[in-house]
């Protein structure tokens, strides 16, 4: 059983094919996963971050001038992630542990790292080179995780 | 060559609905299926065997789970053909309040 915790970028890579190499890695990962033994976990704050970047980022506003279009895109992405991932709460314990976590680049990453611990995740799926390097739960990039799954029993 | 010739067929509505759902998942339309069968016939000078006989092998359907659906979404889903380069890691970092003051 693998419990795979996604950070914000990994969640976005599951919905939007942004970059060819990551897209291929994500498809390879999904083809290897099985409902019987694997589960995707998504911290609630990452779902919020995905929504925020699609609704309110300057780049999204340049791409879609109409707020209704951005809200519809965000809603669609959120529906997809809610359908396929288990949401992990950022609760009192996670916040308190993250507050004491000084190994991550910022509090946001500390929250994700502590979510992974509390949710008993086996791996944090992330392309962030600066974050989760000292996390109690190991980090793998999509490419690394795809290679790992390819040789899994 | 302009694709102006029209082919029409009467089908059982339920079968049409089921087929359309399966085709949609495969990112195909009825028109594409008909066009490709016609292309096959014209290119090879022959008719696909199952069309001639109306008979085909039915194997056990492969077991699918939601991860297969997700892989299909990324490969040929509704966002597959759009340009998402604007949604870069830097844009995501900026939205989370990072990037502007990175050392």
Compute CA distances B39 → A56, B31, B46, B50, whole Å: 47, 12, 10, 16
Q: What is the mean pLDDT of chain A?
A: 95
Is the confidence metric ipTM above 0.95 for this complex?
A: no
Report whether A74 contacts A55 (CB < 8 A): yes
**What is the pLDDT confidence band of residue A67, given thresholds at 50, 70 and 90?**
very high
- Read off the pLDDT of residues A20-45 as tens digits, 9 standing for 90 and up: 999 999 999 999 999 999 999 999 99
- Read off the pLDDT of residues A114-131 as tens digits, 9 standing for 90 and up: 999 999 999 999 999 999
- Verify whether the Cβ–Cβ distance A31 to B68 is below 8 Å: yes
Mutate to test the interface with A, among B65, B72, B87, B102 (most CBs of A within 10 A): B87
Give the closest residue to A4 by CA, choosing from A85, A122, A101, A88: A122
Residues A98-123, mean pLDDT to the nearest whole number: 97
- Chain A residues with at least one Cβ partner in B under 8 Å: 8-9, 12, 14-19, 23, 26-27, 30-31, 33-36, 38, 49, 52-54, 56-60, 62-63, 80, 83-84, 105-106, 108, 127-128
Cα separation, B33 vs B14, whole angstroms: 18
Measure CB to CB from residue A12 to each of B87, B97, B98 and give the nearest one.
Answer: B87
Residue B7: predicted pLDDT: 86
Ranges of H-type helices in A64-124: 67-84, 92-100, 107-118
Written as six digits, the tokens of A107 are 């509090």
Cα separation, B101 vs B103, whole angstroms: 6
- Read off the pLDDT of residues B18-65 as tens digits, 9 standing for 90 and up: 777 677 666 778 888 898 899 889 988 889 888 888 888 777 666 788
Please provide the DSSP assignment of A120-153 as one string: T-SEEE---SSSSTT-SSPEE-HHHHHHHHHT--
């Amino acid at each position: 059983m693998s419990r795979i915790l996604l950070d914000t970028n990994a969640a976005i890579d599951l919905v939007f094919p942004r970059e060819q190499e990551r897209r291929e890695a994500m498809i390879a990962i999904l083809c290897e996963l099985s409902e019987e033994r694997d589960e995707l976990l998504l911290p609630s704050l990452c779902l919020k971050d995905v929504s925020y970047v699609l609704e309110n980022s300057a780049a999204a506003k340049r791409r879609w001038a109409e707020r209704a279009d951005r809200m519809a895109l965000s809603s669609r992405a959120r529906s997809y992630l809610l359908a396929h991932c288990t949401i992990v709460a950022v609760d009192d314990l996670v916040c308190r542990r993250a507050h004491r976590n000084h190994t991550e680049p910022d509090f946001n990453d500390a929250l994700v790292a502590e979510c992974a611990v509390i949710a008993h995740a086996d791996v944090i799926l992330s392309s962030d080179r600066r974050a989760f390097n000292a996390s109690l739960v190991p980090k793998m990039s999509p490419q690394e995780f795809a290679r790992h799954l390819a040789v899994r029993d | 060559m302009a694709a102006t010739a029209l082919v029409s067929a009467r089908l059982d509505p339920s079968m049409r609905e089921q087929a359309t759902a399966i085709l949609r998942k495969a990112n195909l339309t009825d028109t594409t299926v008909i066009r490709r069968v016609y292309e096959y016939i014209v290119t090879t000078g022959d008719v696909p065997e199952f069309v001639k006989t109306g008979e085909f092998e039915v194997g056990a359907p492969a077991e699918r789970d939601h991860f297969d659906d997700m892989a299909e979404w990324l490969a040929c889903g509704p966002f597959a053909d759009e340009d998402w380069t604007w949604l870069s890691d830097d844009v995501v970092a900026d939205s989370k309040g990072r990037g502007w003051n990175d050392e």
